[in-house]
Amino acid sequence: MKLTRGFVFLKKRFSYGEGGRVVVRPCRSSVTRQRRKLKRQAALVAKGVMTVEQVNQSHQPWRGSMKRLNAHDTVLRMDALYKELFGNEYPPPGAEILTLRRLKLAA
């Protein structure tokens, strides 16, 4: 296999960028899976099985892992879907930091 085509390893897509730099991006299946998961969770919130806080706790770790990769646009599109599904319940930027602070204060 030629390395210039790129390859997927551990749910990350490795390829060459400008000047021979290695670019690490999320694989498509991970993004698609998260999008479907958010839609399923929106249906569970509508039924009353889950709360929006539980959905947020589920979404924030995925969001953080994507921010570490070269996936800024992917995070923005997923945030737009989250806002579309949950409306006013959208977490503000840095919500994961606030959640960690609350956990530390509760301990």
Digit-coded pLDDT (tens) for 11-63? 898 988 888 888 888 999 999 999 999 999 999 999 999 988 888 888 888 98
DSSP state at residue 25: E
Name all contacts of 78-83 with Cβ < 8 Å and 24+ positions apart: 78/31, 78/34, 78/35, 78/38, 81/35, 81/38, 82/38
Residue 107: is its pLDDT beyond 80?
A: no
H/E stretch holding 15 reads strand 12-16
Answer whether 8's CB lies under 8 Å from 54's CB: no
Answer whether 45's CB lies under 8 Å from 38's CB: no
Angle at 30 between CA 94 and CA 100, to 5 degrees: 25
The predicted model gives 91-106 an average pLDDT of 53
DSSP state at residue 49: S
Q: What is the pTM of this model?
A: 0.73
